[in-house]
Amino acid sequence: MKKKKSNYLNRELSWLDFNQRVLDQASLKRTPLLERLKFLAISASNLDEFVMVRMGGLKLVRRRGSSKPDIAGLTAAQQLTRIGKRMREMYDTQIRCLHQLEQELQNNGIIRLRPEDLSEAQRDFLGRQFETELSAAAAPLAVENSYGFPMLSGTRLCLCVKLKSDSEKSWGPRQQAPPDNPPHVPQDDHDNHPEDSSVRYALVPLGRSLQRIWSVPSSESFSYMYLEEVFGMFLSEMFGGQEILEWAPFRVTRNGDVELDEDSRSDLMIDMQEMLTARETSQCVRLEISASASDSLTRFLCGAVEITADDVYAIDGPLALKDLFAISGMKGFNHLKDLPWPPQPVPEMNPPGEIFEKIAAEDRLLIHPYQSYDPVVDFVRAAATDSQVIAIKQTLYRTSENSAIASALERAALDGKHVTCIVELKARFDEARNIQWAKRLELAGVDVIYGIQGLKTHAKVCIVVRKETGGIRRYVHFGTGNYNESTAKLYSDISLFTCDEQLGMDAIHFFNAITGLSVPQTLGKLSAAPINLRETLLEMIAIEIENQQKEGSGLIIAKLNSLVDKEIIDALYSASQAGVEVRLNIRGICCLLPQKKGLSDNITVVSVVDRLLEHARVFYFRHGGDDRVFMSSADWMGRNLDRRVELLVPVEQDHAKGRLIRILNAYFDDNTNASVLGDDGVYRAVEEKKKKKRQFRSQEMLYKEAHQIYRAHSDPRTTVFEPIRKPEL
């Protein structure tokens, strides 16, 4: 009997499809060469995080013996099998892409050198570098057997060295005794056993302070070697001339999905610090090793890190391709990079000393990084120094290392203002930085809240309470992105500044409920997860179904990072079956299957991958002609709707609504960097025959629009003004 196909797509495989779309950018000839190299590095960095979090979590589920299927009907074991196959294909594609890029880079004066390519002068130079710097930054670790293997931190590049054993000429620290139940290590009769007394092993963890891409003097514009190959040339010097039988680079990846038991203790700060330590020593979930490594060396490492052959990835090329950021971002070679898109100034928010008057005049909508992020920083800085400001309330999810926003909050508290800050300590991979900022803000006198037990505070809001002549006024910034000045240059996000009375009251009630660990009072305009955000979305979808049945006017357009939640997907399926047109622009994971006859005929899903990371969440509902537009911090995933503190913010002023609707539509007109999801679950680039004669690139349009807005405000004489019309849908 033929198994019925699922109406849903698997979350993990959908994410890998997204990463493939990122990797595909590295092969596009129209993209500048160093930008293509950057996309290759991004795909490798993405894959590292995926393995740490998603594969790590699935392995925990499998180990517990759970056979519960996911939304697509796959168990954890089945998902891991498919993920492994897909990842091996992706590694192969990455290496093929790298080889092609290296050839093109060489043609443009960026030369990768191998040991056999070096001149005598270059070899002498590297020898001196190794003696004076490299050998001092790394130390070999003798390993008597796999049971005495040192604890290696995740994703750190290391060398495994097999040496000919000579007990009379070698000495070293004693290793710990084997455990009572040593891990099973598969053996092949035709090869040396890892415990063979004729060989011994040593490790060389490469120092994190050392750059991976090592510049080599050359007559060419830029020549380089990979760090591991430089070490390989001089390994014998590290081992006193002992015979080296072979060496190979490798990396282990550890489970980053370490669970936090928030019920065990009341001190979340201590719990988080212990969790960070646990992540460094968690189970190994992936072993990457050079394909040149022998079976015996690979088996030795498998036994040492307690991993099976299913989780070994032999790579026929360099490991850790994320380190290619060093080349793609190096100075010079501007002809091989994108033309700069400097963030456009926002004259209507200047000067910073009048920022509150500007917001009071009307709501201000900004699209970053096309428009500068400076007004967000200026907003908090102005609040910190303004004598009329009596309180600042802000959430911080991910911050930059030298955060100007956090520093402004610190200054405000030191100046005697009442400052309350929710610092989310559980923001994955930013925990350590957030802990540091939380401690620093507390020392300055900020009332720091670490979020809510069992939930992550993911909402992006800053509230400034100002005592003015007419009474108390609340100024609010809502965002779709983090308060992080660094990522604000790379992520496409939205800011809304408002002093709308109801939104201000809602924001205060929402914030006070978090800090007071209570249920917020009734919200007039905002919706919040996990309270009523899901219900609001379902209600808006239901209204579109009703309007479609009454007058045939149903329309939903949504821009998201991920769509996973089954209840929301089913509601969209129902809308499609009722005849509602549904347009979804989903950057990454999509578990909804569009264009399926009788189920989702009226649903279109596009994904745009371009030079900036699409990060904003924007939703449009026609609502019988009374357009409803929202911005949000939340994707349509169970974790966002049920296990995080999120906000859904209505955008109500006509000029702001119109701009967001234009932006939503632009992504469906993109015929340059858009892919369309088919009813077979496969993404395909926009077909050539469907392309317009004129290329249209949505991100380029947004940048040009930001430039036009700047010109219109800075020099009205040079701009032809057009009346604002309701956007076409």
Same domain, 569 and 679: yes
Same domain, 495 and 605: no
Is 277 a domain residue?
yes
Q: What is the DSSP string of 553-575?
A: --EEEEEES-B--HHHHHHHHHH
Same domain, 373 and 516: yes
Q: What was the pLDDT predicted at 392?
A: 97
The residues near 20 (Cβ < 8 Å, ≥ 6 apart) are 43, 90, 93, 683
* Average pLDDT of the chain to the nearest whole number: 87
609 and 583 in contact (C-beta within 8 Å)? no
Percentage of residues in the chain having pLDDT higher than 90: 69
- 16, 63, 42: which is closest to 255 by C-alpha? 63
Q: What was the pLDDT predicted at 429?
A: 54
Active site residue 458: yes
* Count helices and strands in the chain by DSSP H and E runs: 20, 27
Instruction: Write the pLDDT tens digit of every residue in 248-258.
Output: 999 999 887 64
Q: What is the DSSP string of 27-80?
A: G-TTS-HHHHHHHHHHHHHHHHHHIIIIIHHHHHHHHTT-----TTS--HHHHH
Same domain, 149 and 56: yes
Is 172 a domain residue?
no
Same domain, 355 and 326: no
For residue 175, is pLDDT > 80?
no
> How many other CB atoms sit within 10 Å of the CB of residue 159?
22
Distance CA 591, CA 569 (A): 8
Q: What is the DSSP string of 361-423?
A: HS-EEEEETTB-SHHHHHHHHHHHH-TTEEEEEEEESS--TT-HHHHHHHHHHHTT-EEEEEE
Distance CA 584, CA 605 (A): 5
pLDDT band at 456; cut points 50, 70, 90: confident
Is 173 a domain residue?
no
Report the amino acid identity of residue 670.
D
For residue 327, is pLDDT > 60?
yes
Same domain, 445 and 488: yes
Element (H, E) at 537: helix 533-551
List the domain range (segments joined by +) for residue 536: 529-718
End-of-domain residue from the set 297, 330, 363:
330
Same domain, 517 and 579: no
Same domain, 424 and 542: no
Q: What was the pLDDT predicted at 613?
A: 96
Is 1 a domain residue?
no
pLDDT band at 187; cut points 50, 70, 90: very low
Same domain, 18 and 125: yes
End-of-domain residue from the set 462, 496, 521:
521
The residues near 64 (Cβ < 8 Å, ≥ 6 apart) are none
- 616, 602, 628, 592: which is closest to 666 by C-alpha? 616
pLDDT band at 276; cut points 50, 70, 90: very low
Q: What was the pLDDT predicted at 173?
A: 43
Q: What was the pLDDT predicted at 437?
A: 77
Instruction: Write the pLDDT tens digit of every residue in 53-104.
Output: 888 888 888 888 888 899 999 999 999 999 999 999 999 999 999 999 999 9
pLDDT band at 242; cut points 50, 70, 90: confident
For residue 191, is pLDDT > 80?
no
End-of-domain residue from the set 521, 544, 571:
521
The residues near 61 (Cβ < 8 Å, ≥ 6 apart) are 76
Instruction: Write the pLDDT tens digit of every residue in 579-615.
Output: 999 999 999 999 999 999 999 999 999 999 999 999 9
Q: Which residue has the higher pLDDT, 284 or 519?
A: 284
Report the amino acid identity of residue 393.
K
pLDDT band at 695; cut points 50, 70, 90: confident
Q: What was the pLDDT predicted at 515?
A: 80
Is 340 a domain residue?
no
At CA 711, angle to CA 710 and CA 717, rounded to 5? 145
- Residue 91, Cα to own-chain centre: how many angstroms? 19
51 and 253 in contact (C-beta within 8 Å)? yes
Distance CA 142, CA 383 (A): 58
Is 335 a domain residue?
no
pLDDT band at 647; cut points 50, 70, 90: very high
For residue 715, is pLDDT > 90?
no
Percentage of residues in the chain having pLDDT higher than 70: 86
For residue 720, is pLDDT > 60?
no
The CATH number for 679's domain is 3.30.870.10
Catalytic residue among 99, 190, 335, 458: 458
Distance CA 216, CA 113 (A): 8
Distance CA 389, CA 462 (A): 13
At CA 441, angle to CA 436 and CA 447, rounded to 5? 125
Q: What was the pLDDT predicted at 360?
A: 96
Whole-angstrom CA distances from 525 to 246, 457, 650, 660 are 67, 19, 7, 18
Q: What was the pLDDT predicted at 216?
A: 95
User: What is the pLDDT averaged over residues 393-421?
Assistant: 91
Same domain, 552 and 700: yes
User: What is the pLDDT averaged over residues 190-219?
Assistant: 79
Distance CA 95, CA 89 (A): 10
Lowest mean pLDDT among 345-354, 540-549, 656-665: 345-354
Is 107 a domain residue?
yes
Dihedral class, residue 595 (left if φ above 0, else alpha if ψ from -120 to 50, else beta): left
> How many other CB atoms sit within 10 Å of the CB of residue 107?
10
Q: What was the pLDDT predicted at 240?
A: 83
For residue 182, is pLDDT > 50?
no
Report the amino acid identity of residue 465.
V
Q: What was the pLDDT predicted at 398?
A: 82
Same domain, 550 and 648: yes
Distance CA 58, CA 63 (A): 9
Q: What was the pLDDT predicted at 666?
A: 96
Q: What was the pLDDT predicted at 33?
A: 98
pLDDT band at 687; cut points 50, 70, 90: low
For residue 185, is pLDDT > 50?
no
Whole-angstrom CA distances from 522 to 460, 474, 535, 539 are 20, 18, 14, 17
Q: Which residue has the higher pLDDT, 208 or 378?
A: 378
Distance CA 304, CA 150 (A): 9
pLDDT band at 148; cut points 50, 70, 90: low
664 and 620 in contact (C-beta within 8 Å)? yes
686 and 670 in contact (C-beta within 8 Å)? yes
Sheet hosting strand 158-164, strand order edge to edge: 141-143, 199-205, 158-164, 244-254, 284-290, 312-315
**Domains: count for the chain:** 3
Instruction: Write the pLDDT tens digit of every residue in 346-363.
Output: 999 999 889 999 999 999
pLDDT band at 326; cut points 50, 70, 90: very high
Q: What was the pLDDT predicted at 428?
A: 58
For residue 174, is pLDDT > 60?
no
Is 365 a domain residue?
yes
Torsion angle, alpha carbons of 60, 61, 64, 70, to 10: -170
Instruction: Write the pLDDT tens digit of every residue in 476-516.
Output: 999 999 999 999 999 999 999 999 999 999 999 999 888 87
For residue 393, is pLDDT > 50?
yes
For residue 324, is pLDDT > 90?
yes
pLDDT band at 266; cut points 50, 70, 90: very low
The CATH number for 312's domain is 3.30.1840.10
Same domain, 663 and 616: yes
> How many other CB atoms sit within 10 Å of the CB of residue 462?
25
